[in-house]
Homo-oligomer: A and B are copies of this chain.
Amino acid sequence: MFGIWGHEKAAEITYYALHALQHRGQDGAGIVTYENEEWMLHKDVGLLNDVFSRGQLERLSGRHAIGQIHYVHGANVGYDNVQPHLFQSQKDSLAIVHSGNITNAYELRGELERSGSIFQTESDTELLAHLIRRQGAHIDAHAIQTALENIVGAYAFLLMTQDCMYVALDPYGIRPLSIGKLHGAYVAASESCAFDLIGAEKMFEVQPGELIRIADDGIHRKTIQRVKKQQLCAMEYVYFSRPDSDLQYVNVHAARKRMGIQLAKEASVCADVVTGVPDSSISAAIGYAEASNLPYEIGLIKNRYVGRTFIKPSQELREQGVKMKLSPVKGIVAGKRVVMVDDSIVRGTTSKKIVTMLKEAGAAQVHVRIASPAVTNPCFYGIDMSTKQELFAANYTLEEMCDIIGADSLAYLSPEGLEKAIVATTNDSSKGICNACFTGNYPVAKESKMLQAKTAE
């Protein structure tokens, strides 16, 4: 998500900012702008580069824009679910981008449909718009606040009208969201790396439960729901965010390196080289190598197949040895005792493949070190991590897991170690993470019947 208010080149700036957020999704992209009583929208499925041509970008005139990179999880597949959503009416049109997961969406939608509302998509974003519209003819902060009172779950959204832009975050602050400045314009982004790319300056991070109004007369902040200690998604630190972003004012690469250092302290091993699984585990691997005084080497290399057009190798060719995403570097691992640092394990299948690959390339030993705790519980707030039945660590002991993936040893970072690595440099007690996927302590109630069923599996 990215928004900008008050810049001559609003759409172009948004385009570049979304580039910095491309890692958050590869399923679609869109930008909406407003000028002279006219809304302009372009969006489509695919990578940002495939969605926009120069001509399309130039047609998006105006000084205000919001845009999003689309990440498919659950049912929100296809063009119609790509954001922004633009809802035009005879007066008071609105555009909206949203990321998160509303846990009582099914019930809310059912109620609205029974009284005559028509939905175009499966998205929670459209639901937000309907709830806001039902508050009365005019959209203002009061209407939005009333609408949000019905909602349970993780949400972060940018809503644009012809007069202003609203920025809102759920009471737990599960998703990251920051506000910045750029040559007199205000910008909002999911990750601060977007600010660096466009040359903007970060002002502050949106706090849990805040509703912010940005207009030509400046920024107005208001806390609309009781603020608790923030519970920012731990996976943002572990692998989802870019290493050059700051979360809760902590640099992600530095946090990951500390996770690697902490992991070396908790689970050292006698070995020759340390290698990381590219890209998101490199920082932790370097930290592990430094802390254990072992050389860090490129033992695995990523094959940067790009875009939707890549032709995947058939099962037959994969069995014959054609690699899909990673190749081992024989010259580095052959005959060596290798520490392979990865950021996390979800289903275990990837880890097994990598260990096998390294051994086939001649590694004498492979010690797997995971720079986060074992994932034993599904996520209901927007990270696609399947049901409990499919989670590797929820179904096997550490020993069994080590055996299954074929490693010589396996160790996870402890939950305490993770917390320590993240908050090591901050003394702010209002900061914290959601570690429900490791511990099962969900910050938000699981009201929805559908969700209860899913947890029980």
Which A residues are within 8 Å of any B CB, using their own CB? 9, 12-13, 15-16, 19-20, 22, 47, 49-50, 52-54, 57, 87-90, 106, 109-110, 113-114, 116-120, 126, 129-130, 133-134, 137, 182-183, 193, 196-200, 242-244, 246, 250-251, 253-254, 257, 282-283, 286, 290, 295-298, 301, 303-307, 309-311, 313-314, 316-317, 320-323, 327-332, 361
Contact = CB atoms under 8 A, between A and B. Distances in A.
B117 A120 contact: no
Contacts of A119: 87-89
Given A246-B331, A327-B196, A329-B243, A118 B129 contact: yes
Contacts of A120: 87, 120
**6 closest Cβ pairs, A-B complex:** A199-B321, A251-B331, A244-B329, A116-B134, A49-B309, A244-B301
Contact of A49 (B89, B290, B306, B332): B306
A435 to B, nearest CB: 23
A119 B57 CA distance: 25
Contact of A327 (B183, B197, B305, B317): B197
Contact of A13 (B109, B183, B254, B322): B322
A327 B20 contact: yes
B304 A22 contact: yes
A193 B89 contact: no
Contacts of A257: 297
Contacts of A331: 244, 246, 250-251, 253-254
Given A193-B301, A197-B303, A199-B322, A109 B90 contact: yes
Nearest to A55: B311
Given A12-B313, A12-B317, 14 more contacts: A9-B317, A13-B317, A87-B119, A89-B118, A117-B133, A196-B323, A197-B323, A246-B330, A251-B329, A253-B298, A283-B298, A286-B296, A290-B295, A304-B304
Contacts of A328: 196
B117 A310 contact: no
Per assembly, the copies of the chain total 4
A283 B330 CA distance: 16
Most buried by B among A22, A134, A244, A297: A244
A137 B118 contact: no
B309 A50 contact: yes
A130 to B, nearest CB: 6
Most buried by B among A137, A250, A320: A320
Contact of A311 (B54, B137, B305): B54
A47 B49 CA distance: 14
A320 B183 contact: yes
A87 B116 CA distance: 12
A113 B117 CA distance: 10
Most buried by B among A54, A110, A250, A296: A296
Contacts of A316: 9
10 contacts: A49-B309, A182-B321, A196-B323, A197-B323, A198-B322, A199-B320, A246-B330, A251-B332, A290-B296, A296-B296
Nearest to A8: B316
A298 B254 CA distance: 9
A313 B309 CA distance: 25
